[in-house]
Amino acid sequence: MLAPAVTGFATGFSLILAIGAQNAFVLRQGLLGAHVLPLCLFCALSDAVLIAAGVAGFAAVVEALPALPRLMALGGAAFLLVYGALRLRAAWVGDYRMVLSGRSGSLAATLAAAAAFTWANPHVYLDTLGLVGAVSTQFEAGAEKWAFGSGAVLASFTFFFGLGYGARLLAPVMTSARAWQWLDLGVGLVMWGLAAGLLLG
């Protein structure tokens, strides 16, 4: 069972490693040191659900509903455009008194944003339901396939908790409004770039 689990871990980690909207949000919250545990747990558990569905063969649903990917892309792009605009506006205004004092939005608002970044992102379905599901087909149904899925789930937990809590290593750098402006500028541009990719794809 070790080989399928290692393959699952490597597959899951390689897919999640790229900086995307969800990862940028987790990084920002990690730098704030706010709601890190519930946020990382939410993201990792969401991935676990999607990976399990992918391994179980849920990708067939997308084939049965060919319009679904485009609808998800449009919804995800709209959200990314709005959130990106908020981050760019924050960078322009440059008022980081609340951030520098260590305050953040409420837990409910943080998890609501995380839910949007996770479940309104069509790429997450491509990665988990599509690619992870496709790779899992090389293993026999039963123990091997679920060992592969468990490895992919472990990769998500490792990544999100590493990103959320590892962000504290950058905390000494993020002690000025200027540093937060650059971060928000980068996050905003990443969001808009991802939105453009969804709309043009």
* Average pLDDT estimate for 147-174: 88
Q: Give me the pLDDT at residue 143, please.
A: 83
CB atoms within 10 A of CB 192: 18
Number of domains forming the structure of the chain: 1
pLDDT digits (tens, 9 = 90+) for 54-94: 888 755 666 677 776 677 667 767 877 887 898 899 889 88
Q: Which range, 9-13, 42-46, 47-51, has the best average confidence (pLDDT)?
A: 42-46
Residue 43 has pLDDT above 90, yes or no: yes
Structural domain boundaries enclosing 68: 2-200
Residue 31 has pLDDT above 80, yes or no: yes
Torsion of CA 152, 153, 156, 157, to 10 degrees: -140
Burial of 86 (0-12, 13-18, 19+ CB in 10 A): middle
Confidence of residue 48 (pLDDT cuts 50, 70, 90): very high
